[in-house]
């Protein structure tokens, strides 16, 4: 699904993070760093820094619809990344906007569980994502707790447990799933790419850093960018994972905040 444009157009639909490490800001940095023209639709404003979130102000659903309608009427989007969606109304608006003008690729990062383990989305929001957006997506990128929430099962603790989730994840209706293994213990961070007819391990080693803010947003956006450039799905995932590892390794060059710092999205620029 490669575009004929020299620079593909991408879209992120997500909330704003004023600290710049996650959400729409991380997506825009990633999509730009990887050579696409990045557009955005904002679903929520947050009061947030590297130490946590102190407030959330949802954008009215009618205005989310207006942003999508206006943008899609003018710009041909090659690939879209969807971030956290907290209500059925927002999920339905996104589905209804993307269905008649479907981009070449739709990547859904089903953000539902914070790194602290707290559930970020209520049961209604979880059901909305599962029913409205997962079947729309060509790829979903849950971490292990998020996959467990989607399937209503325990969190896997090893590779065998991850592989055991493959049939249930396929049954949700997405084109493919990248099940992220960062929550496993040990020095490795293996991810499992689940398609309709195969499971493929994408290997990686754990980076010794506390600068993990926005890693999920960044990885899904990096995959979106590579898909927009025409990469096959396994290649897009592997390239994005390598790029994120480099962004984590170079995160020490940044000095942002006093909490969990961001990755270095522009690490390739010296």
What tens digit of pLDDT does each residue of 147-201 get?
999 999 999 999 999 999 999 999 999 999 999 998 888 888 899 999 999 999 9
What is the edge-to-edge ordering of all strands in the sheet holding 105-108? 52-58, 37-49, 9-15, 79-82, 105-108, 139-140, 177-179, 191-194, 199-202
Instruction: Note the pLDDT of residue 122.
Output: 76
- Which DSSP helix (H) or strand (E) runs through 53? strand 52-58
Residues 6+ apart with CB under 8 A from 16: 23, 24, 25, 42, 44, 45, 46
Residue 185 DSSP label: S
Instruction: Note the pLDDT of residue 86.
Output: 81
pLDDT along the chain (270 residues), means of 10: 78 95 96 98 92 89 97 97 92 96 95 60 84 97 93 94 97 97 86 95 92 94 98 97 96 94 91
Tokens of 223: 């995959």
Instruction: Note the pLDDT of residue 35.
Output: 97
Instruction: Note the pLDDT of residue 114.
Output: 59
Q: At what angle do helices 215-228 and 233-249 cross, to 10 degrees?
A: 140
Partners of residue 179 on adjacent β-strands: 192
Instruction: Note the pLDDT of residue 42.
Output: 96
* Closest to 248 (Cα-Cα) out of 214, 220, 217, 207: 207
Instruction: Note the pLDDT of residue 117.
Output: 53
Instruction: Note the pLDDT of residue 159.
Output: 95
Using a 10 angstrom Cβ sphere, with 0-12 exposed, 13-18 middle and 19 or more buried, the burial of residue 89 is: middle
Instruction: Note the pLDDT of residue 52.
Output: 86
**Separation between Cα atoms, residue 189 and residue 184, nearest integer Å:** 7
Contact between 88 and 127 (Cβ < 8 Å): yes
C-alpha 194 chain-centroid distance: 16
**Separation between Cα atoms, residue 126 and residue 117, nearest integer Å:** 15
Instruction: Note the pLDDT of residue 104.
Output: 95
Q: At what angle do helices 215-228 and 23-33 cross, to 10 degrees?
A: 40
């Amino acid at each position: 699904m490669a575009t004929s444009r020299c620079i593909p157009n991408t879209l992120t639909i997500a909330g704003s993070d004023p600290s710049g490490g996650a959400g729409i800001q991380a997506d825009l940095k990633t999509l730009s760093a990887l050579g696409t023209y990045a557009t955005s639709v904002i679903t929520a404003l947050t009061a947030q820094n590297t130490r946590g979130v102190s407030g959330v102000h949802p954008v009215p659903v009618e205005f989310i619809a207006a942003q999508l309608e206006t943008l899609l009427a003018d710009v041909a989007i090659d690939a879209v990344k969807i971030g956290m969606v907290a209500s059925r109304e927002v999920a339905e608006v996104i589905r209804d906007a993307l269905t008649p003008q479907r981009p070449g690729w739709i990547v859904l990062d089903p953000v539902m569980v914070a790194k602290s383990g707290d559930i970020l989305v209520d049961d209604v929001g979880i059901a909305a994502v599962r029913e409205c957006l997962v079947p729309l997506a060509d790829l979903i990128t849950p971490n292990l707790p998020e996959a467990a929430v989607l399937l209503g099962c325990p969190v896997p603790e090893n590779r065998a447990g991850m592989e055991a989730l493959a049939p249930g994840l396929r049954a949700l209706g997405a084109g493919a799933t990248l099940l992220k293994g960062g929550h496993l213990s040990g020095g490795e961070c293996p991810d499992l790419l689940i398609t309709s007819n195969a499971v493929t391990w994408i290997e990686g080693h754990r980076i010794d850093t506390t600068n993990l803010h926005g890693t999920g947003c960044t990885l899904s956006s990096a995959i979106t960018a590579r898909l927009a450039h025409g990469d096959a799905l396994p290649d897009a995932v592997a390239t994005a994972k390598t790029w994120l590892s480099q962004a984590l390794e170079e995160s020490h060059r940044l000095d942002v905040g006093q909490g969990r710092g961001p990755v270095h999205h522009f690490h390739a620029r010296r």
